[in-house]
Amino acid sequence: MPPPAKRTARLDIHLDPTSTEPVFAQICAAVSGDIAAGRLPAGTRLPPTRTLATQLNIAVNTVAKAYRELEMQGYIEGRGRRGTFVRDQSGAAREREVMRFVTTMHSLGIPLEETLDLVRRAWP
Protein backbone atom coordinates (compact mmCIF):
# COMPACT_ATOMS: atom_id res chain seq x y z
CA MET A 1 0.00 0.00 0.00
CA PRO A 2 1.46 3.41 -0.92
CA PRO A 3 2.12 5.85 1.90
CA PRO A 4 -0.73 8.23 2.69
CA ALA A 5 -0.77 11.44 0.73
CA LYS A 6 0.34 14.59 2.54
CA ARG A 7 -2.76 16.53 1.55
CA THR A 8 -5.91 16.27 -0.48
CA ALA A 9 -5.61 17.27 -4.13
CA ARG A 10 -7.67 20.13 -5.44
CA LEU A 11 -9.23 18.91 -8.67
CA ASP A 12 -9.55 21.39 -11.51
CA ILE A 13 -12.70 20.09 -13.19
CA HIS A 14 -14.74 22.20 -15.56
CA LEU A 15 -18.18 20.83 -16.35
CA ASP A 16 -19.95 21.64 -19.58
CA PRO A 17 -23.67 22.06 -18.84
CA THR A 18 -24.44 22.02 -22.60
CA SER A 19 -22.71 18.67 -23.17
CA THR A 20 -24.72 15.54 -23.93
CA GLU A 21 -22.17 13.62 -21.84
CA PRO A 22 -23.51 13.00 -18.31
CA VAL A 23 -21.91 15.01 -15.51
CA PHE A 24 -20.51 11.90 -13.79
CA ALA A 25 -18.84 10.89 -17.08
CA GLN A 26 -17.30 14.37 -17.42
CA ILE A 27 -15.84 13.97 -13.92
CA CYS A 28 -14.48 10.53 -14.83
CA ALA A 29 -12.88 11.89 -17.99
CA ALA A 30 -11.28 14.81 -16.14
CA VAL A 31 -9.88 12.68 -13.30
CA SER A 32 -8.67 9.83 -15.52
CA GLY A 33 -7.10 12.38 -17.87
CA ASP A 34 -5.25 14.03 -14.98
CA ILE A 35 -4.03 10.63 -13.79
CA ALA A 36 -2.83 9.65 -17.28
CA ALA A 37 -1.07 13.02 -17.68
CA GLY A 38 0.69 12.64 -14.33
CA ARG A 39 -1.05 15.59 -12.69
CA LEU A 40 -2.52 13.19 -10.11
CA PRO A 41 0.26 10.75 -9.16
CA ALA A 42 -0.27 7.45 -7.35
CA GLY A 43 -1.11 7.94 -3.69
CA THR A 44 -2.76 11.32 -4.19
CA ARG A 45 -5.82 11.68 -1.97
CA LEU A 46 -8.91 12.89 -3.82
CA PRO A 47 -11.40 15.28 -2.22
CA PRO A 48 -14.28 13.69 -0.33
CA THR A 49 -17.45 13.39 -2.40
CA ARG A 50 -19.22 16.14 -0.43
CA THR A 51 -16.32 18.53 -0.88
CA LEU A 52 -16.10 17.97 -4.62
CA ALA A 53 -19.88 18.16 -5.00
CA THR A 54 -19.90 21.51 -3.22
CA GLN A 55 -16.98 22.76 -5.33
CA LEU A 56 -18.75 21.75 -8.56
CA ASN A 57 -22.23 22.75 -7.32
CA ILE A 58 -23.68 19.31 -8.10
CA ALA A 59 -25.30 16.46 -6.15
CA VAL A 60 -23.12 14.31 -3.90
CA ASN A 61 -24.55 11.18 -5.56
CA THR A 62 -23.19 12.34 -8.92
CA VAL A 63 -19.64 12.54 -7.53
CA ALA A 64 -20.12 9.20 -5.75
CA LYS A 65 -21.18 7.63 -9.06
CA ALA A 66 -18.09 9.05 -10.78
CA TYR A 67 -15.81 7.75 -8.01
CA ARG A 68 -17.44 4.28 -8.22
CA GLU A 69 -16.88 4.22 -11.98
CA LEU A 70 -13.26 5.35 -11.63
CA GLU A 71 -12.72 2.66 -8.99
CA MET A 72 -14.22 -0.03 -11.26
CA GLN A 73 -11.88 1.13 -14.03
CA GLY A 74 -8.90 0.80 -11.68
CA TYR A 75 -7.94 4.48 -11.50
CA ILE A 76 -8.73 5.05 -7.83
CA GLU A 77 -9.36 3.09 -4.65
CA GLY A 78 -11.46 3.84 -1.62
CA ARG A 79 -9.81 3.21 1.73
CA GLY A 80 -12.79 3.67 4.01
CA ARG A 81 -12.51 6.59 6.40
CA ARG A 82 -8.99 7.40 5.17
CA GLY A 83 -10.36 8.58 1.85
CA THR A 84 -10.11 7.90 -1.86
CA PHE A 85 -6.69 7.65 -3.49
CA VAL A 86 -5.17 7.43 -6.95
CA ARG A 87 -4.00 3.88 -7.62
CA ASP A 88 -0.55 3.04 -8.89
CA GLN A 89 -1.04 2.69 -12.65
CA SER A 90 2.50 1.44 -13.27
CA GLY A 91 2.01 -1.88 -11.53
CA ALA A 92 4.83 -1.13 -9.07
CA ALA A 93 2.53 -1.57 -6.07
CA ARG A 94 1.38 -4.94 -7.38
CA GLU A 95 4.96 -6.04 -7.86
CA ARG A 96 5.86 -4.99 -4.31
CA GLU A 97 2.94 -6.91 -2.84
CA VAL A 98 3.70 -10.02 -4.88
CA MET A 99 7.34 -9.94 -3.81
CA ARG A 100 6.31 -9.52 -0.17
CA PHE A 101 3.98 -12.51 -0.45
CA VAL A 102 6.55 -14.69 -2.23
CA THR A 103 9.23 -13.79 0.30
CA THR A 104 6.91 -14.68 3.18
CA MET A 105 5.88 -18.01 1.66
CA HIS A 106 9.50 -18.86 0.88
CA SER A 107 10.64 -17.97 4.41
CA LEU A 108 7.92 -20.27 5.78
CA GLY A 109 9.34 -23.07 3.65
CA ILE A 110 6.18 -23.49 1.60
CA PRO A 111 6.96 -24.87 -1.87
CA LEU A 112 5.69 -23.16 -5.02
CA GLU A 113 3.04 -25.76 -5.86
CA GLU A 114 1.59 -25.64 -2.35
CA THR A 115 1.63 -21.83 -2.45
CA LEU A 116 -0.23 -21.86 -5.76
CA ASP A 117 -2.78 -24.33 -4.34
CA LEU A 118 -3.32 -22.04 -1.33
CA VAL A 119 -3.81 -19.05 -3.59
CA ARG A 120 -6.26 -20.94 -5.83
CA ARG A 121 -8.34 -22.03 -2.82
CA ALA A 122 -8.35 -18.51 -1.36
CA TRP A 123 -9.13 -16.73 -4.64
CA PRO A 124 -12.74 -15.45 -4.62
| Digitized pLDDT (tens) for each residue of the chain, 124 residues in all | 555 545 788 899 999 999 999 999 999 999 999 998 999 999 999 999 999 999 999 999 999 999 999 999 989 999 999 999 999 887 777 777 888 899 999 999 999 999 999 999 998 7
pLDDT score of 40: 95
Strand-pair partners of 8:
45
Domain CATH code at residue 45: 1.10.10.10
116 to 91, 95, 104: CA distances (angstroms): 21, 17, 14
How many domains does the structure of the chain reveal? Answer: 2
Domain that holds residue 118: 92-122
Q: Within this chain, do residues 51 and 97 fall inside the same structural domain, yes or no?
A: no
CB atoms within 10 A of CB 46: 24
Count Cα atoms within 13 angstroms, Cβ side, for 105.
Answer: 16
Stated as kind and residue range, the H or E segment containing 78 is: strand 76-78
